[in-house]
Chains A and B, each alone.
Chain A
Amino acid sequence: MTAVVLRKVVGKFEDFDAFKRALGSLQVSGVPDYEAYGPVNLDELGPLMPARMIPRSFKETVVEILTGRNVSPVRGVATVGAITGLCLFFYMAVATSNIYKLIVGGKPPVSRVPYVVIAYEGTILLGAIAAFVATLYYARLIFGRQAMPEYDPRFSGDLFGVGASCAPEQVESTMELLRNAGAVEVYEY
């Protein structure tokens, strides 16, 4: 059995509604995978996007299978980081008090209430670091690839773009679909 070589069709849009229309049409057209580009936060377009074909982590795969949605695991990682910070900073305060057991005013060296402040700050610190690193990792910002070949620098400025990966026999119909949705430029990459 020979693997089908997917071909790339790119559509550029000036109008945001036309762009969303194109994504909706692509979703029902049977095109296996496509990517959307735009200068504004596109997170809310999730329902119009395909389920990711190549999961990047075990957790992401599980989440996507269970929920059927494209969910980012960043918040989960941030929560784990925050809980780690809480435990670690509380432990640090307790453990360092126990290293040098100086009794002051007859009180025990470990005093839990003041350590809540340290643990609270640790929760936020490690939670934030985890959220930042997870965002970079999952969005492949440090470790990842450079721009996809179909990327047009104007996608970060004033244009919206769709890059659809489709089988050779779907190329014509996909180009037609994008034109009908209102694309100002359509071409095969």
Chain B
Amino acid sequence: MANGVLREIDDLIIGSLDRPSRGYLITLGVCFLMLVIGVAAYAVQYFLGMGVTGLNVPVSWGTYITNFVWWIGIAHSGTLISAILFLFRTKWRNGINRAAEAMTLFAIMTAGLFPLIHLGRVWVFYWILPYPNWRYLWPNFKSPLVWDVVAVTTYFTVSLLFFYLGLIPDLGTVRDRSEGWRKKLYSILAFGWTPSWDKWRHYARGYLALAALATPLVISVHSVVSWDFAMSINPGWHTTIFAPYFVAGAIHSGLAMVITLLIPLRKVLKLERILSLYYFEQMALLLILTGSIVGYAYIVEVFMAWYSGDIFERQFNVIRATGPYGPFYWAMVFLNVIVPMTLFWKKLRTNWTWLFIIGILINVGMWFERFVIIVGGLANNFVPSSWGIYAPRLVEGCISLGSLGLFLLLFLSFVKFFPSVPMGELKDVALEGMEEE
């Protein structure tokens, strides 16, 4: 019977909001510890100044900007899975879109910290915001850095609205099944939602409109991030391929992060029956596609350096592959392109352990990619006399670790208070399946 299946979906997902297990609490504690380490390291930087980092002339953008670009990239899969796959009516998005959207939000929040951490004088961060002031000085809207602020702020706002609108019907369901303080909390959060046709019809139009608006946004945000680099004249940065290259890379790393997070999550929250291998296999297939696009971009970069005849571009590419950052370059090629190709084998893409490992490997590879682009581009510019070397210091490492702790802490807290799998959409799929039978 249909209602038996619907009840089971509710039981499993609402059941995951019950009292947390010991393993969950220990993981939460570890994440909190990582965050404390990050905060302590930031306190050191705040009081002693930017000299405690490895940043100096000529490499003035290092780990922090690498982290910013990496986290923004990770934020991309949520909106891809939610908006783009929704518009294409892709059924397999339904099991994973909520977790991916939450991941998007928390990744943007984490990313947003890094420009502030990188600023040095964080107390004047508001100078970048467009507000009327007595000096008549406004942000320079011609600057890619200001585009970036506008794009990332827009991305966060739209992702938040899209995420929350999708959550409302499920909050109504949780409210109807809760008691005590939980009922009160979910009543407020659900905005008085009742699943009547009159509400569903407006909801469906609103969700569609937001998906339609979020789709070009996904493409634009990482394009704008790439223009932070491509609008300069630095060798290795000044290239038109950067926008599609960054977008593909962002989706690649985002999908890998979804896989990395959801594999342990399905065990911890006992959602094995809902988050089946099917969803992960589909994501693995998508990883082959994004890995191929990234690989193509790597090849085109080298080809363009050779074909253009530009000696600076040629020199930059040779140094990148053979210089001090060479190991990172080859690691990124191997982890982002070669490793995902193993997913062509069904045996490997249906293997939980391999999927989990590959998710981590791709994210490490994508971090190397950002590092090689950002640091490499600054370390070896036009004039050899101004070349330099950058190596991250302990403070930067601790702050990066802290950011990972913050992200995981937010994500783990979310899955215990909100349904991490969209119940309404799963019920839709279940009903359609039964109608087809």
Q: Which residues of A contact B (CB under 8 A)?
A: 14-17, 35-43, 45-46, 49, 52, 70, 72, 74-75, 78, 82, 89, 92-93, 96-97, 99-100, 111, 114-115, 117-118, 120-122, 124-125, 127-129, 131-132, 134-136, 138-142, 144-148, 151, 153-159
Contact = CB atoms under 8 A, between A and B. Distances in A.
Interface of B: 1-4, 6-7, 10, 130, 136-139, 141-142, 146-147, 150-151, 153-154, 157-158, 161-162, 164-165, 168-169, 172-173, 176-177, 191-210, 213-214, 216-217, 220, 224, 423-425, 427-428, 431, 434-435
Nearest to B137: A100
Contacts of B207: 135
Q: 4 shortest A-B CB distances, which residue pairs?
A: A135-B206, A153-B176, A43-B204, A96-B138
A16 B5 CA distance: 12
Contacts of B208: 75
A145 B192 CA distance: 8
A34 B104 CA distance: 40
Contact of A158 (B6, B172, B192, B214): B6
Given A121-B151, A136-B191, A148-B196, A156 B209 contact: no
Contact of B169 (A74, A144, A151, A156): A156
Contacts of A136: 191
B214 to A, nearest CB: 7
A127 B10 CA distance: 33
Contact of B209 (A75, A120, A153): A75
Contacts of A49: 197
Contacts of A139: 198-199, 202-203, 206
Given A118-B141, A124-B154, A78 B213 contact: yes
A96 B428 contact: no
Nearest to B150: A121
Given A128-B157, A145-B192, A158 B10 contact: yes
A89 B151 CA distance: 12
B191 A78 contact: no
Contact of B205 (A37, A135, A155): A135
Q: Which of A35, A134, A141 has the most CB of B within 10 A?
A: A141
A125 B202 contact: no
Contact of A38 (B139, B168, B195, B210): B195
A156 B170 CA distance: 8
A167 B199 CA distance: 25
Contacts of A40: 424, 427-428, 431
Contact of B1 (A15, A45, A111, A124): A15
Contact of B173 (A39, A124, A131, A145): A39
B176 to A, nearest CB: 4
Nearest to B423: A39
Contact of A37 (B151, B153, B195): B195
Given A96-B138, A157-B176, A135 B202 contact: yes
Contacts of B434: 16
A131 to B, nearest CB: 4
A181 B393 CA distance: 72
B215 to A, nearest CB: 10
Contact of B154 (A35, A96, A125, A134): A125
A157 B4 CA distance: 10
Given A14-B3, A153-B177, A156-B176, A111 B196 contact: no
Nearest to B173: A156
A147 B196 CA distance: 9
Given A115-B141, A157-B10, A128 B201 contact: no
A141 B197 CA distance: 13
Nearest to A155: B195
Contact of A124 (B7, B158, B164, B193): B158
A118 B154 CA distance: 10
B2 A147 contact: no
